[in-house]
Each structure stands twice: as C-alpha cells, then as structure tokens.
Amino acid sequence: MKQPAPTHAVDMLIVGAGFAGLYMLHKARGMGLDALVLEAAPGVGGTWYHNRYPGARVDIQSMEYSFSFDEALQQQWRWSERYAPQPELLRYANHVADRFGLRDGIRLSTRMAGAHFDEPSQRWTVQAESGESWSARFLVMASGPLSSPNLPDFAGLKDFAGPVYHTANWPHEPVDFSARRVAVIGTGSSAVQAIPIIARQASELTVFQRTAAYAAPAHNGPLDREFEARIKADYAGYRARNRRMHGGFGSLLPPNPVSALAASADEREAAFEQRWKIGGFAILGAFNDLLLNEQSNALVAEFVRGKIRAIVKHPDTAQLLSPTHTIGCKRLCVDSGYYDTFNRPNVRLVDINQAPIERITSKGLRTSGGEFEFDALVLATGFDAMTGTMMRLDLRGRDGLRIQEKWHAGPLNYLGLGIAGFPNLFNIAGPGSTSAFTNVIVAIEHHVDWIADCIAYLDAHGLHTIEASEQAEAAWAEHVNAAARRTVFLSCNSWYLGANIEGKPRMFMPLAEGFPRYADHCAQVAHDGYVGFVLQ
C-alpha cells in the first residue's frame, strides 16, 4: 500500500506517555534529539491513567517505585503511603511531565495505527489513526507490557442490560456501586485489589473465579517519615543497591541465602511468618529456592493456604480460595483484606472452573451450574500481555515484514530491545527483558539509558541503523527459555506464557534470570560494540 508522505519529521517517535515514554522523551531531548510522544489517552501516565479501578495501587513500595534519574525529583517528591495509590501515581506522572517541561513534546489523544520502515530513507513512517503521519529515524515502543486489556469473548456480553467495566479501562467519572448487585469475573491482582472495596459498597457481590489466587498482605499505611528520611539521606546509594537485587528492589530485605529444604519445619514456619508480617513479595525471599524448586515452593504454598484457612471462616469457601498451583508462578498478588472479604454476608464466590460461564444474559450470567443475576459487571480479566499492543499495530519492517508474521510463534528479539528486520526500533520493558519481573521503573530507566548510549554510539561512528541479527535473536530466545526452565514459572497457565489468551502462542516472554545479570549482559554487548546487532 502506498503511504501518503509524512507530514512531520522528527528524530525519534516514542509510543506511549507512561513512565517509559516520559523518561525517553526527557533523555532524548537531553541529547539534542527532536523527539515526539504519541499517546492514545487524553492524559499522561500510561498504566496509571487507565487502571483506576477501586483499590488500584502499586505492589512495590513507593520509595522504590519511582524515578531515580534526577536527585532533586527524588528528594522533593513525597509519597503519602507505603504503597502509592493510583491517583497519587498519576499525579506523580503529571508532575514529572510538568517539572521537565515535557508536555509540548507529547501528542495526547493520538493513537498510533502503524509504522512502516522506508528503505530508501532508512526511516520509519509512523501513522496515527487520525491520518497524520511522521517520519522518524528512531521508533521507540514505550507502550508497556500490560496495556492491551483482555476482553474475553463471552457469548451474550452485549445483551447485558447493566454497565460493564474493565479494570484496565475504568471510567474517569466516579462509579458508585452502593445498593447495587455487582459481579466480578477474574481473581488476579486487579480483582484482588478491587474486590474488598467493591464489597464494602455493593449490596451483593458475586465473584466468579476460574483460578484461585495467592495473595500476601500489603500492610499498607502512611509512609513512615523516619524511614523516608533515612532513605533520602542516601537515595542514590539505595537505588544502586536495589539495582543489584534480582528484581531491582528490596535491598533492605535480601532473600535468605539458604534452601527451604535445608531448614527444619520450625525454622521454615518462623521464616515464613516473619516475612508474612513484613508483607508484599517478602515471603518469596524467605528462602533462596522458593521460585526455583517445586518442593521448596510447595512448602511456602502450603503456608499461605494455611493463612487462607485461618482467615476464611467457611471451610468450603476457604477450600475454593486455596490455590493449587505453584506460588509465584502467576505474579503474587499483594492485598488489603482480600480473603477476609469472603467472610462478609454480602459476598459469594462461584467456581467457574468446575462450572464454566456459558453466556452472559440480560440480567446476569449463566454457568453450567446455574443462573446469576446482578446489576453491574466488572471484568478483571487482565491483559494480552507483552505482545498484545504491538501485535495490534500495522507494524512493518524491512521488505514489508509484518510484526504479526515475525512473531507468529512468539516474540523474537535480542536483549528484548531490538528486532531483526525492524531497524532503529527499540522496545522498552517488553518480552525478552526482565520487564515485569523487575521493579518496572528500574527496567525502564535501564532501557532508556541503554537506548540513549546506543544512539550516541551510532552517531559517534557515523552509523545510520542498528537492528538485531537473526542469530542473536535465536540464541536469545533459547537464553530466555533456559532461564524460565530453571524456575517454577513454566508450571502454570500465566500471562507470562501467553496462556491467558486463547490461540496465543505459548512462549515464556519475560526474562527470569534477574535484573543484575541482564543489565550486565546488556552493558557487555554495548561495551563490545553492540555484538549481536547489525550496524550500518
């Protein structure tokens, strides 16, 4: 298809104005590049713009889940809670956009439709759905690993007479569930955060569960100001120590360096209990092999099931809420009163694993076990993760190679950053990188800095393009796979594997080797003149 001539030319086109897009724009401008961000939403903030369901908050502590690139920013910004709530995270994104004067480089309400690589000019032609187009030397996908909501194809969905909400696309106007009968489908992280709050508002809440979720308590509360002062006294040092942690966070509580199998039953119980009291992901570091060895994993899984049985009064409900898969294999949820919510008289749990949903009706839904009526439906059904957003675009590289063809069997790339056949295209925190296994802001800052160094290298050497080689991609796919095989992550149907989306190729997408090793690897590749990439 012949493309109309692009209307504007920029050095770098960035897709998405979440944390990745904001920092990429700031960095690019610092290098003297003319950069532009296209953002589909009418505001900045990415994930935190869209995911404004009741109870939405981050599951990494606020003092860690924030930018480190600017000392004055990290000193001056003050979080109110241990785990920041969505409105505060959105204020932070807006503050960053204002503080660094980024707004005039961001085109809001402008959804990218596609991009084609133009061989003669060695540039990308990027089209927006509005019909506008840009020519750009570099194309940076800062569109996020969890940005395409998964809307399952439930028969009859359009027949439902009441409102239907998706947690990842929540309305901006307040939603009032008081005196309403509400249904939630899904029990992942989003549902686990939303359910306790919806249950307090609604007259009745029915939760439709296909797979039970493990959740550890957040113990959220106001941020301890002494702790804040202590961190800020050496924020840069704290950030550097966190970057040497497996997940890019948690240096104040390193994993216990022994195997769960080497501890006595009493020692294990004490370690699990101590970490449960701390909350969040801490419990998964109670021993060093909980995510590596299924036997060790079974011990901590049983500890959490014991907590569920202790919290949930009705034994049948406790049983149904008790997961049977390996813990951590799907991202551990971090909750505030999730299990206890099922003790409320207005909350009911329905097993749609044994009795699947047959169809949505005008008044509710029907499963193979019965009819359910409600006034409002909340879909907490997650995302077409990691690849969903790119696979929906008309993205074509050299010789018209389409991304759908390139990734038909799963995402292929090198270091998660570059794709063979797609020159000068960089992907931030996507498949093939530690992405969602890392404090994602650490992952974002690392990728943006790497991309900036790479562009500086190209310019310093009079080079025009960089793209992954096919050999490096094949080796990297095996590297990602091998890292997953050393863990328990292949043992359940998670979004990491694409298993939550019907028909999606089953391929483990994030890199499970830990952020420090990955960052060292990326640094080595850069140091060695970008081996594994083709530079021209």
DSSP annotation string for 87-151:
HHHHHHHHHHHHHTT-GGGEETT--EEEEEEETTTTEEEEEETTS-EEEEEEEEE---SS-SB--
Least Å distance, CB 465 to ligand N01, is 33
How many whole angstroms separate alpha carbon 91 and alpha carbon 85? 10
Neighbours of 131 (CB within 10 A): 9
Considering only residues 250 through 289, tell me which ones interact with ligand N01, judged by CB under 6 A.
Answer: none
380 binds ligand N01 (CB under 6 A): yes
52: Cα within 13 Å, side-chain hemisphere: 16
Sole binder of ligand N01 in the list 127, 133, 167, 427 (CB under 6 A): 167
Among candidate residues 444, 443, 465, 445, the one with its CA nearest the CA of residue 454? 465
Least Å distance, CB 521 to ligand N01, is 23
215 binds ligand N01 (CB under 6 A): no
190 binds ligand N01 (CB under 6 A): yes
Sole binder of ligand N01 in the list 54, 114, 186, 432 (CB under 6 A): 186
Least Å distance, CB 112 to ligand N01, is 22
435 binds ligand N01 (CB under 6 A): no
Part in contact with ligand N01 (CB under 6 A); list of ranges 179-187, 278-286, 471-479, 522-530? 179-187
Tokens of residue 532, six digits: 């594994």
Q: Which of 395-433 are b and which e, b meaning 16 or more Cβ less than 10 Å from the residue's Cβ?
A: bbbeeebbbeebbeebbbbbbbbbbbbbbbbbbbbbbbb
189 binds ligand N01 (CB under 6 A): yes
Sole binder of ligand N01 in the list 211, 251, 404, 481 (CB under 6 A): 211
Part in contact with ligand N01 (CB under 6 A); list of ranges 29-37, 299-307, 380-388, 456-464? 380-388
331 binds ligand N01 (CB under 6 A): yes
Sole binder of ligand N01 in the list 10, 36, 37, 58 (CB under 6 A): 58
Please tell me whether residue 11 adopts helix, strand or coil conformation.
Answer: strand
Tokens of residue 13, six digits: 């086109």
- Residue identified by tokens 């949903």 is 357
DSSP code of residue 465: -
How many whole angstroms separate alpha carbon 458 and alpha carbon 446? 18
Looking at the chain, how many residues does it have? 536
59 binds ligand N01 (CB under 6 A): yes
505 binds ligand N01 (CB under 6 A): no
Part in contact with ligand N01 (CB under 6 A); list of ranges 111-119, 379-387, 444-452, 504-512? 379-387
Part in contact with ligand N01 (CB under 6 A); list of ranges 190-198, 239-247, 399-407, 506-514? 190-198
Name beta bridge partners: 359: 366
Least Å distance, CB 236 to ligand N01, is 25
Sole binder of ligand N01 in the list 10, 112, 146, 420 (CB under 6 A): 146
187 binds ligand N01 (CB under 6 A): yes
Least Å distance, CB 221 to ligand N01, is 16
Q: Are strands 204-209 and 347-351 parallel, antiparallel or unpaired?
A: parallel
How many whole angstroms separate alpha carbon 388 and alpha carbon 46? 15
Least Å distance, CB 482 to ligand N01, is 23
Residue ranges in contact with ligand N01 by CB under 6 A: 58-59, 146, 152, 167, 185-191, 193, 210-211, 331, 334, 352, 380-383, 436, 495, 500
